Amino acid sequence: MQFEPTRLPEVVLIKPRVFGDARGYFFETWQQARFADAAIPAAFVQDNHSHSTQHTLRGLHYQIKQAQGKLIRVTRGEVFDVAVDVRRSSPRFGQWVGVTLSETNHHMLWVPPGFAHGYLAISEEVDFLYKCTEYYAPQHERTISWNDPQVGVHWPLAHGQAPILSAKDATGAVLAQAEVYP
């Protein structure tokens, strides 16, 4: 397993070693000792599975209390996955990083507490799995607007293509007005 810090070093791209043959493939998605050696001492309490259709954009979500770390992977399709630093005391506050996760590259992403997270479904269908370090707490969930110009995420949408959004995601706050971490 390779652990590669992104340009936001706390957000880590994980490239598992995939063993494949004519029958298919096998790879490890989680091993506590390997993650601890990579300075990711996560203790997971909840697994989630999300299914999306093409052009669905989910996010940018975070919990202001019971902050969640997330270990993310895609088992069907392809997404553009984004993490935004929402820690006001961070020198990278408001900066974002995006990576492609897919069923073919098998990459995973570690998004630690203190970051907003979202993704855009690129393929016709996506199955998106993630492990969380804290339980979902809807009363503490916050949403940053997916198209906040201050954050400036470059979503891979065709010119003029609008994403499919939930009502919550369509009304997310701009970072300048959002409740964020100290």
Q: Is 182 a member of any domain?
A: no
> Which among 61, 62, 106, 117 is annotated as catalytic?
61
- How many domains does the chain divide into? 1
Domain that holds residue 69: 2-18+26-177
pLDDT digits (tens, 9 = 90+) for 14-55: 999 999 999 999 999 999 999 999 999 899 999 999 999 999
Residue 120's DSSP bridge partners are: 57, 80
- Predicted TM-score of the model (pTM): 0.96
Positive or negative, the CA dihedral 37, 39, 44, 49 is: negative
Q: Is 119 a member of any domain?
A: yes
Residue 171 CB-half CA count within 13 A: 3
Whether the predicted pLDDT of 160 surpasses 90: no
Confidence of residue 159 (pLDDT cuts 50, 70, 90): confident
Contact 134, 79 (CB under 8 A): no
Confidence of residue 134 (pLDDT cuts 50, 70, 90): very high
Q: What is the model's pLDDT at position 22?
A: 96
Contact 114, 85 (CB under 8 A): yes
CA distance 65 to 145: 19
> Which among 25, 106, 130, 140 is annotated as catalytic?
130
CATH of the domain at 139: 2.60.120.10
pLDDT digits (tens, 9 = 90+) for 52-107: 999 999 999 999 999 999 999 999 999 999 999 999 999 999 999 999 999 999 99
The yes-or-no answer on residue 61 being catalytic is yes
CA distance 26 to 40: 23
